[in-house]
Structure 1
């Protein structure tokens, strides 16, 4: 035992073995690089938090909720001022509130990937309530600027002895006073938008039509479509779809909410999880639209990256742990190919 050579120290081993020395240096370099990367990421996030970007990514639920609460309070304050606003300035004031609500929707959409499902649903419910309050005020203060479509025909006038009886509540969809396409059948309808030209756009009451929208809009409202095909460029805020049947939609948006859809296919590029409610037989696949300039528009609206959220659908009326039977992924052999509408002429 006394004649056995002593074990070499780590330093002596490194000095005597060039290969081990090189391996050790490589490990140190990796650790240094990793530390620098983490430091750079931390500094970048701090800079983003200090910037004036209206919809930063927080990656912290508490930070998001704080910002969301502050923005909601601002919208509440603007809504409270509506009745005190000079009638001559009321329309611009309402438009500003609508833009603020859209910014709030975008805030939720861009941060929903890390938020708990409950917080996403709660935030969307809050936004829906704000939007409804705005629509009610607009209908009251600017009645000529709104149009109301009821699900059923208006009831005939009741005899005077019954005029005090309360009528059953009816579901309504209030179409915003925005540019749009209404009441068409069997037509191909093309619209081309320049940058920031259109805030909100409405598509309503179409039968057997094809709609092609090129360029970006802030918000898109789709109501009562049957047997239609709708192709759209990027929507920077939300797409709201209500009462559609046997339709195909190809859309890119930060947020898409679908209500009362039957047997429809949706080809989507979306930053947050699509939301369905009161729908059945709806299928989903990835976005597949092309036209001249669309790639640049998608980059400018932060919709150029595929998030795979088209396959992560939330059914708000399905509370079980298993997937909702109301939606499915569209089989690849049944999907349409790339749709190129570059040659479309505005109608």
Structure 2
């Protein structure tokens, strides 16, 4: 899927709107690049401001586009063919999903209040879509949430296209706070009262990590035989090269690259993504500590969507389920993990 182009065809009017939307995003991108090239002082504060400004412009444009499509579909529903209505709802749903992923992918540099505000706007759009679909398709309500189905495998195929906007290689994590190069240690960190925007776990072997409170983004690199328990992440979690690990994570978006023989206990708003991975298993989030309910609410993750069980394997392009991941049998799952107040 293309995060810049939420509409994938349709009528001549839809195609015209699509072109207009695409051209507008191109102009915004060109304007942003011009501002960067004209400014010789590329300090971190300036860069952060430019990135935030560019994101907000892009987010606002996409939000207006989605709201416009919802209005158009509502007004034209009486003359629309039922198949066109369903197609329109699906297109709007895809656009909202792309907007949510856009927030997650850029959350590492955004101020926390901008992340929360953007996610609230996305939630409002989802609610508007649910109301609209209830009005237009009352017999079989359209749902924004992804649900697995063995009867319509073809509807899932577009969802396994690789997006261009969550590449870990583009995320500047080298200077972020974190735990690095540890062996056989218990590592504890609370983010309450902290201004930390992103946190990194890197080159850990046989460690137990306990993180409480909320953080904007979390990066995990080269972990072996580790247990990681984390409070809610407001934006995204990016994981690269983990083996024989147990990871308990809550986030809006989770992308996993090169994982082997590891178990993931997740609460996640969008479908987890795996790449170059095998022997990975998934189960629901099972962490508890004092104040976690408020942390989940702050991060917009208080609702259990069961997306943890709808995994996308980006290197498995067939309609049948990938053999690289599975649901962790209930009898093999961890009991609820409770962290003490010292965490």
TM-score scaled by length of structure 2:
0.62
Q: What is the aligned residue count?
A: 246
* Aligned-partner SS, 2:103: helix
Residue in structure 2 matched with residue 232 of structure 1 by the alignment: 230
1:192 aligns with 2:190: yes
Q: In 2, are the aligned partners of 1:216 and 1:234 still within 8 Å (CA)? A: yes
1:94 corresponds to: 47
Question: What's the counterpart of residue 128 of structure 1?
Answer: 166
Question: Which one scores higher on RCO, CA 8 angstroms, separation ≥ 6?
Answer: 2
- The residue aligned with 1:16 is none
- Matching of residues 80-159 of structure 1 within 5 Å: 80-87=34-41, 90-96=43-49, 100=55, 103=103, 105=105, 113=144, 125-128=163-166
Q: Deviations over 1:212-256 (max 9, x none)?
A: 111111111110000001111111111000000000000000000
Looking at structure 1, the residues matched to 160 and 49 of structure 2 have their Cα atoms a distance apart, in angstroms, of 24
- Where does structure 1 lack aligned partners over 5 or more consecutive residues? 1-57, 136-173
Mark the CA change 1:272 to 1:200 in structure 2 (over 3 Å): closer, same or farther: same
Q: Distance in 1 between matches of 2:19 and 2:267?
A: 26
CA contact (8 A) 1:104 1:127 kept: no
- The Cα RMSD (Å) is 3.7
The whole-number CA distance in structure 1 between the counterparts of 2:275 and 2:298 is 30
SS in 2 for 1:194: coil
CA–CA distance in structure 2, aligned partners of residues 79 and 85 of structure 1:
10
Check the 8 A contact 1:227/1:246 in 2, yes or no.
yes
Q: Deviations over 1:310-331 (max 9, x none)?
A: 1110101111111111000101
Bigger Rg over Cα: 1
Q: How does 1:145-224 map to 2 (within 5 A)?
A: 175-194=173-192, 197-224=195-222
Determine the structure 2 residue equivalent to 1:248. 246
Cα drift, residue 95 of structure 1: 3.1
Structure 2: gaps of 5 or more residues: 1-5, 57-101, 108-117, 127-142, 147-154
Note closer, same or farther for the CA distance 1:244–1:192 as it changes in structure 2 (3 Å cut). same
User: Cα 1:79–1:219, aligned 2, differ >3 Å: closer, same or farther?
Assistant: farther
Q: Deviations over 1:282-328 (max 9, x none)?
A: 00000000111110110121101110111110101111111111000
After TM superposition, the score normalised by the length of structure 1 is 0.61
Kindly tell me: are residues 293 and 191 of structure 1, through their superposed partners in 2, closer, same or farther at Cα, counting changes over 3 Å? same
Deviations 1:175-199 (A, max 9, x none): 4421111111111111111267221
1:331 aligned to which of 301, 321, 329: 329
Q: Which runs of 4+ in 1 moved over 6 A?
A: 60-73, 106-112
1:64-121 Cα offsets, whole Å, 9 max, x none, are 999899678656644554344343x521233346664962637799679468757656
